[in-house]
Structure 1
Amino acid sequence: MRIKEAIEKVPGGMMVVPLLLGATLNTIDQLHIPVVMNILKSLGTAPTDAGYYEFLRIGGFSQELFKDSALVLIALFLFCVGSQMNLKIGGRALEKGVILTSTKYFTGLAVGIAFGFFFDPWTGVLGLSTLAIIAGMTNSNSGMYAALTGQYGNRSDVGGLSILAINDGPFLTLVSLGLLGTTLPMIAFIAVLLPIGIGMILGNLDPKIREFLKPGESLTIPFFAFALGAGMNLANFFNPSVLAGGLAIAILTFVLTGGMAIIAFKIAGEKSFIAPIAEASTAGNAAATPAAVLAAASVALGSGAMSMADFEMIQSIVPIATAQISISTIATSLLCPLGVILMDRYQKKRGIYGTEEYPGIKTKKKTKKTKEALNN
């Protein structure tokens, strides 16, 4: 059987499919079907506080892995992601990475601020929240970026991923919420971001540690995705406003973050715009960001820096935000490859080949090495 291949045919499949599976099983669980509950009761399953029997709450390793593991697995994922943030990259790749990361972040932040100004930042139009917008728009699909720039871009486009990887996970979203006035004490940032920091230090100190932890970037995703889904109701995905909200995030992400990155590339003298379009996506793992923000909020609540009302508000929007971000992941996974293909065709008609380091037209910053590259 080719289960993995089938899953990977779905955009963001290793995140989206397990998440939907977990949501489906949890939805069935929440129906509290008498036959199912009677079977669980006869097996000796302990009832929930409400007196129900649920197959995702049977205790032991099964419940710890499939129902209650989301936060610890996300922490492990962030540790592995941090270990892959290589600080030793070339100047041109560094420049592109900084441009892509900064334009994506500030565009997402600007849209989030504008949304919070004109609408309710918690449950505005189409059920959107500032959290969902910023988390969806500031996180890009690193795997798809690597694949698209690897095929249609050049070496410095691919190398920019080392900087672009900073937007993997909740870091930029937490910073944004702090800038928008959400009360999160310093310890909340430290508690959530410490795994990234430690992973980054170890990965840069020892390349073998980086190599050892690399599989964790992908290995943990389907497991924490399933656990996230196990806390959601499938009805969220079929709610018209949630679906429309997710598609809205996808369009905003593709058009605005991609468009702003293209403008920034033009200002920098770049002639190929494969990389800006390749990064104009929502990462599959961005669906984990609302849960990470909730973890930071729980720290803030425990320290007295956040009120129970604010915490409950964040808690209530996490399932909806997660569903909307998942929808945006699927939509942008279709838009970005199509956009890259169309841009590649357009550029080639103008004599610009994205796979060349200095394509087509001479750049403003000509060095001896640049001239040699053009001649070769």
Structure 2
Amino acid sequence: MKFVDEAEISVHAGNGGNGCVSFRREKFIPFGGPDGGDGGNGGSVWLVADENLNTLVDFRHQRVFRAQRGQNGMGRDMYGKAGEDVVIRVPVGTAVYNIATDELIGDLTAHGQRLLVAKGGDGGKGNIHFKSSVNRAPRKATPGWPGEERELRLELKLLADVGLLGFPNAGKSTFIRAVSAATPKVADYPFTTLYPNLGVVSVEPYKSFVIADIPGLIEGAAEGAGLGALFLRHVQRTRLLLHLVDMAPLDGETDPVEQVRAIERELGKYDPALLQKPRWLVLNKADLLDPEEVRAREAELVARLGWTAPHFVVSAIGREGTRAVALKVQQFFDEQKQAAAEAAEDAAWAERLAGECPPAGPA
């Protein structure tokens, strides 16, 4: 199934039912009074995150969703039935935008999370609410309120721990094949990957992380060149970026350093926060060079880039060095988790001590 990560839909909440004007008329009760009930509330439209879905392709076939209208009020104090809600299931990781204002309405990042996108209209009031000491027979009722209507844009941002960056043919798909069970298409021409692929990297029992293979980026991706503008959003949620570079380009003219700088510029244009994420350098295709050339090329590229973060030399096609990268990534996440747990524990102790030893008041 083709991966679809953006869709536009129209949602219409149900209108509220109208209030009723009615009077009680029964034998031996000459002054029954008003008994018109309220209208029912209109149904609302909800989005619910479902981990069993991984694409927005269903919204290519159905784009309009309408909730049920509330039932009108009736005599004998009978209130109208509320309209049924519409529940739309979307993949976990879906961001919801209001097209009219380009406002982010919500972000569904956990299974079962619900988001109200269109509220149903309230039902109108029946004439039982308008009786008073000076108006014993009110002939007034209010209509139901209209339900909300919105045009929404759904954007699916992959929930991956690691994102792979690199120019086309840098070996990203081959790398994800080497470290996980994912099987993206691999070929000897650019833009082989036309949609993101996810792979689960299992380092040891009960220790794993999710890696995303993002289609190759080129100069001008942030402005729409190539495929990058469609998929740059997927690296926003990642905790770590692996920047793959072809250290042995076959044409002999391509400069890997300039490619790294070009992608850095595109990341900064799209979202400056991406440049603040941890990013490691992975020099790929070492199998195309002699061992001495590999060491010389590695030293040259690291020096020219002024790279201070971790870097690795691998041959993804031969699966040489890829295991070391996976182990280092898992260690990085373990250290992050431990640091977060220690910070939470320190905060809990500080809060407890503050409660036990309140600051002294003025003498």
Whether TM exceeds 0.5 here: the answer is no
For this structure pair, what is the TM-score category when the shorter chain's length is used for normalisation?
under 0.3
Larger Rg: 2
Higher percent of residues as helix: 1
Normalised by the length of structure 2, the TM-score is 0.20
Normalised by the length of structure 1, the TM-score is 0.20
Which of the pair has the greater relative contact order for Cα pairs under 8 Å at 6+ separation?
Answer: 1
Higher percent of residues as strand: 2
